[in-house]
Amino acid sequence: MALYEELQESIIAGQKDKVKEVVNNLLDSDTAPIEIISEGLIGSMSIVGQKMKSGEMFIPEVLASAHAMNEGMGMLKPLITGDESSSLFASKALMGTVQGDLHNIGKKIVSMILESGGFTVKDIGEDVPPDKFIEAVEQEKPDILGLSGLLTTTIPRMKDVVEALKRSNLRDKVRVMVGGAPVSQDFADSIGADAYAPNAVSAVDKARQLMGQS
């Protein structure tokens, strides 16, 4: 079996050790680390995304794939040059759960899958008030601001963040993506967000669309 095929199978199966072994074999065969990342790792995670969409894979399996993929990423990232790294991880997403909300499992999954999709992700945690989001946007200058919320009582805080961005003249500097179980496309539209994603795989698709990548 070709090495890329083996890599793809081991990522889909969530086999960390096998991923390590195949990445080493690819490096031994003089494949460029940047190519292994984009063709092998990110390419395989796109297939995992498609399988999740079609109902062939579920969240625990997708997470195992993301962990396996990260194993390979950990080996390859130090081997790529600064220029390669800045073009591959050029788009940055800042993620946080809105004020009053401590739920972080979904946000962590979305962050991880975004990273697997080639985004640089900065997670600023949970129960984040609007002024903390503003401070972080000013500091980190992300392309995408991701707001997560799991409670019907806290998702109105997403609108507060959008309004705070407007007051700080930052609204046109960052794309806002929202998600979480009680969030819907209608809600996202009503608060003036740029995108809504119902799950982690769709979050990567939406983030790519926001960046004009697909």
Q: Which residues bind ligand B1M (CB under 6 A)?
A: 59, 100-107, 109-110, 146-148, 150-153, 177-182, 197, 199-200, 203
Q: Which amino acid is at 206?
A: K
d(CA 37, CA 84): 11
Residue whose CB is less far from ligand B1M, 37 or 95: 95
CB 163 within 8 A of CB 72: no
User: Element (H or E) spanning 177, and its range?
Assistant: strand 175-179
Which CB, 74 or 125, lies closer to ligand B1M?
125
Beta carbon nearer to ligand B1M, 109 or 165: 109
Beta bridge partners of 177: 146, 195
Taking the least distance from each CB to ligand B1M, the nearer of 34 and 151 is 151
Please state, in angstroms and rounded to a whole number, the distance separating the CA atoms of residues 154 and 151.
Answer: 5
Spatial neighbors of 92 by CB under 8 A, at least 6 apart, are: 119, 120, 121, 122, 140, 141, 142, 143, 144
Nearest to 115 by CA among 55, 71, 149: 71
Q: Which DSSP symbol is given to 57?
A: S
Minimal distance, residue 16 CB to ligand B1M, in Å: 21
Nearest to ligand B1M of 57, 177 (CB atom): 177
Instruction: Return the structure tokens found at 173.
Output: 């500097």
